[in-house]
Structure 1
Amino acid sequence: MPNFKPITLGIISFVLFGISSSVAYFGLTSTEVLTLTLDHPAFRDNRIPEVSRTFSPSKLCEMMKLYRKQKKMCRRGRGTAHALMEAIRTSVLECQYQFQDERWNCSLEEPYRQNMLKKGFKETSFLYAVSSASLVHSFARGCRSGQIDRCTCDESKHLNNVEAWKWGGCGDNIKFALKFTRRFLRRAKRRGKDVTARVNQHNSRVGIKVVKSHVKTKCKCHGVSGTCTVKTCWRQLAPFHEIGQVLKRKYEKAYQVDTNTNNANGKFSLFKRKDETITDPKNSTPKTVDMVFIEPSPSFCSKSSYSIGTTGRECNKNNTCHSLCCGRGYNVMTRKKFERCQCQVVWCCKFDCNMCLIDQEVYTCK
């Protein structure tokens, strides 16, 4: 077998949907990162199923940097390793999409990644939440598709799964996915050892709860002339892009927290840092659905220990340039681009177009 170059993934690197090669932390193993051999055409071309055919499940689990007990779970059953990889991919793409117009655009190249993970920024909180959410989502869908041999369609007792199979109403197995995700996260070391670990665990649970709360029951009627002689129902997860939007809103409303130690038992709890918006002591404890962070984020405007800054980033003149460029202004250049033009309607709904070379203005931050 050829020697493929290992890429730190935690992180996984992709060039997809016009997004530049980037990395995003997949927070399943505390402060450790997942590593995977990615210099393979199947990864570069987004052919994840081909990876499962190229490498054995045991090899895939070895390629990911997991704790011993997590690796044992990865090897157990067909499809588990593939579902883990799909969860990583999903979290990466969603993070990049949600932050594409932000100063921090979900780019965590070294050495910035390690420095970010040592801090309790809002961005780190989002990464933990989106990671656990994608894990639940990937395994629930994997059960439905038959990819994972340890589970089947939705196992809810109040739903007629036999009829659901018959009529094509196979539901996402949220029950199995939740159980697997919680066990998988519990297998990570350093659980609850310090404030950062406690905050990371809290935000991981936020991601799980968001997926769980966005499950809908879908039903389909079957019968002659549209009558509902037979009705089959199944549970279905929301699209992950919808989950990402909810998590982004929680990120924007995240609370900064401090810790309060109980002198009697030595345990500590989280509470919202006091400000003018918190007047009732009963509201000082963050809810289980609130995203929390420990310290304010840097501006990410200039190159620092946490990011490369925004110099050279492309922006929209009428929308994002002011924010992304941090008041430094922007450069304007022109580049050639082929675009469909001179289109004519051909018999109802078809269009016949030429390709024209046009000048396009591009704006980049100074």
Structure 2
Amino acid sequence: MTSMSDLLDGIVGQCQSLTLLLISAVLHRQASSFIYLAKQNSLQVLLRDPRGCEGLMGLVEEQVRVCQWEVEAMDAVRRGAELAVEECQHQFHSPWWNCSTLQGLQVFGKVAIQGTWESAFIHAIAAAGIAFAVTRACSRGELEKCGCDRKVGGVSPEGFQWSGCSDNLFYGITFSQAFVDNPERSRGVSSSRALMNLHNNEAGRKALLAHMKVECKRHGVSDSCEVRTCWKVMPPFHKVGNILKEKFEGATEVYPKRVGSCKLLVPKSSRFKPYTAHDLVYLLASPDFCDRDPLHGVFGTSGRQCNRTSAAMDGCDLLCCGRGFRTAQAEVVECCSCEFRWCCAVKCKQCRHFVEVHRCR
């Protein structure tokens, strides 16, 4: 006969197992929460502790291992996460969804994990941000395990000499794949969301790789000599953001389909063009961003500043979703009556005036 004690022990054991399963599910579901590193300004202090990687908030088990393998790169990872957040907010400053952030581990809220258009962009810009920042750290000599890309050498077909410090984007991309992709790969290829995220991660990195540019320096007294040394550099990150915003606007809705032993993402409609490795894909339609919906991590547009005279997305008609807007007076302080003083300063007065500010109801 089973005693009450044994019965309780069994219940406790089942509860513990269930708790571990739930924790594991949450960690895998929130693989993009490493973006929380963007908010950890004291990262270098934390990593001085031998067990510092394990104490970093926002990392799952696979990312902790990458951190331990190359702890010196983690400050670059933090900068990459910051770049991703800033660029996302720059690209989406006026639409209904403005890439707003939360205080919790999921920086972008549930929007980042729902398989929508917005989630596609977040994954692409984050993967690109990590690759960009780590590559830049390599070129600056901040990391022991990498430096400039010395494989770029010899003479080009155009006749210039490859030299200088080419950005080692191969290293940055490889690091991004290990750090950003591994949590998704651990979910297995049977997960449609993982397939989507992995595709968009790679599309973000390809936006960097496909737009590397050549910089050159001419040799000669007049700079007219035909002898040039050249090197490859990454595009500005704003350009990467512009490219991915265009990909976002042309993203393809897909669904999972079993093809033999493989699971693939195929366009949901035959009218859609086949997507390429450079394009973004999404599984689910976006939520309605007009009204506040905490369940889906949506803040709504109430209180957002709008432009009364604009017919674009930042205009009060569109941004306020037909709810109307309120107008108030706001004081603005600007520099004015600036004068140059020899030598070498500019002296300005502070002018105050009032402007109308319109906010959505």
- For normalisation by structure 1, the TM-score amounts to 0.77
What does residue 83 of structure 2 align with?
90
User: How far apart are the structure 2 equivalents of 1:148 and 1:30?
Assistant: 31
Cα pair distance change 1:78/1:198, threshold 3 Å: closer
**Mapped contact 2:217–2:230 kept (Cα < 8 A):** yes
> What is the Cα deviation at residue 157 of structure 1?
3.6
What does residue 56 of structure 1 align with?
48
Q: Does 1:294 align with 2:293?
A: no
What does residue 153 of structure 1 align with?
148
Secondary structure of 1:219's match?
strand
User: How far apart are the structure 1 equivalents of 2:107 and 2:217?
Assistant: 50
> Which whole-Å deviations, capped at 9, do the CAs of 1:149-189 have from their partners, x for residues lacking one?
100112224259xx988xxx422111211222223344322
- Give the letter aligned to residue 250 of structure 1: K
User: How far apart are the structure 2 equivalents of 1:77 and 1:332?
Assistant: 52
> What is the Cα deviation at residue 317 of structure 1?
1.9
- Among 248, 251, 254, the alignment partner of 2:248 is 251
User: How far apart are the structure 2 equivalents of 1:37 and 1:140?
Assistant: 18
Segments of 5+ residues of structure 1 without an aligned counterpart are 1-27, 44-49
User: How far apart are the structure 2 equivalents of 1:296 and 1:103?
Assistant: 15
Q: Does 1:338 align with 2:333?
A: yes
- Among 312, 320, 330, the alignment partner of 2:303 is 312
Deviates more, 1:302-311 or 1:235-244: 302-311
Secondary structure of 1:296's match?
coil
**Mapped contact 1:57–1:75 kept (Cα < 8 A):** no
What does residue 357 of structure 2 align with?
362
User: How far apart are the structure 2 equivalents of 1:345 and 1:121?
Assistant: 53
Cα pair distance change 1:355/1:65, threshold 3 Å: closer
What does residue 319 of structure 2 align with?
324
Q: Does 1:174 align with 2:169?
A: yes
User: How far apart are the structure 2 equivalents of 1:58 and 1:230?
Assistant: 51
Secondary structure of 2:189's match?
coil
- Give the letter aligned to residue 317 of structure 2: H
What does residue 68 of structure 1 align with?
61
> Which whole-Å deviations, capped at 9, do the CAs of 1:243-269 have from their partners, x for residues lacking one?
00110111111111112212x42x221
- Among 194, 197, 202, the alignment partner of 1:197 is 194
Secondary structure of 1:34's match?
helix
Cα pair distance change 1:144/1:58, threshold 3 Å: farther
- Give the letter aligned to residue 314 of structure 1: Q
Cα pair distance change 1:317/1:176, threshold 3 Å: same
What does residue 99 of structure 1 align with?
92
- Give the letter aligned to residue 243 of structure 2: V
**Mapped contact 1:340–1:355 kept (Cα < 8 A):** yes
Q: Summarize the alignment of residues 162-241 of structure 1 with structure 2, pairs less than 5 Å apart.
A: 169-188=164-183, 189-228=186-225, 231-241=228-238
> What is the Cα deviation at residue 55 of structure 1?
4.6
Secondary structure of 2:301's match?
coil
- Among 134, 137, 144, the alignment partner of 1:142 is 137
Secondary structure of 1:235's match?
strand
- Give the letter aligned to residue 285 of structure 2: P
**Mapped contact 1:300–1:309 kept (Cα < 8 A):** yes
User: How far apart are the structure 2 equivalents of 1:329 and 1:65?
Assistant: 39
- For normalisation by structure 2, the TM-score amounts to 0.78
Identity among equivalent pairs (%) = 30
Segments of 5+ residues of structure 2 without an aligned counterpart are 1-26, 156-160
Deviant stretches of 4+, over 3 Å: 35-40, 57-60, 110-115, 227-230, 342-353
> What is the Cα deviation at residue 69 of structure 1?
3.7
How many pairs were matched up? 318
User: How far apart are the structure 1 equivalents of 2:175 and 2:73?
Assistant: 10
> Which whole-Å deviations, capped at 9, do the CAs of 1:91-122 have from their partners, x for residues lacking one?
11111111111111112426895533442110
